[in-house]
Homo-oligomer: A and B are copies of this chain.
Amino acid sequence: MTPAKPTFAPKNPDFETRVRDSFNRQPFMHHCNITMPVVEPGYVEMRVDHDHALTQQHGFLHGGMVGTVADCTAGYAAFSLMRAEDSVITVEYKINMLAPAHGRTMLGRSRVIRAGGSLMICQSDLYVLNGAGDAATEKHCATALVTLMVLKDTPDAPPE
């Protein structure tokens, strides 16, 4: 019933370098210790380890972090399919919280589900990871639909 995972041919062979360079220039990613272990064409993963500074009043990872990872994984999944001359902006997203982000690590996975010339649509899923080895568990804690726009002939970096 689930459509086969689409395979995308990147327009920019250096897409991973470009995505990682952009990610590294985002101070907020460092401020929150978000990492990006996987960058594939049209697919990105990010992780955030539990950290007291990132929690809300019940001691769980803050919803703002859940939304941030949903949005950013989608942004870079879309960006990975763009030309080297283009950049990306989030138009809107909607996120459903499915369970508290209560765990050792939160993992975000986002996949492009429609790659248009002007707009890209991604689905982001967030999971909380607990335990390790054979006892590792993965709980689905949020899901999001994200709409992104291609900014044609627009550099990703700010003007000097």
Contacts and interface: CB of A to CB of B under 8 A. Distances in A.
A53 B2 CA distance: 31
Contacts of A54: 27-28, 31
B114 A90 contact: no
Nearest to A145: B96
B98 A57 contact: no
Given A3-B140, A58-B158, A67-B71, A149 B93 contact: no
Chain A interface category by residue count: 35 or more
A10 interface: no
Contacts of A64: 28, 32, 64-65, 67-68, 71-72
Identify whether the interface residues of A are mostly helix, strand, loop, or mixed. Answer: mixed
A99 B74 CA distance: 19
Contact of A55 (B22, B27, B99): B27
Contacts of A71: 63-64, 67
A27 B2 contact: no
18 contacts: A2-B2, A3-B140, A22-B57, A26-B55, A27-B53, A28-B56, A31-B53, A57-B158, A58-B156, A59-B158, A63-B72, A92-B97, A93-B94, A93-B95, A98-B113, A99-B114, A113-B143, A118-B118
7 closest A-B pairs (Cβ-Cβ)?
Answer: A64-B68, A94-B94, A28-B62, A67-B67, A25-B57, A92-B96, A31-B53
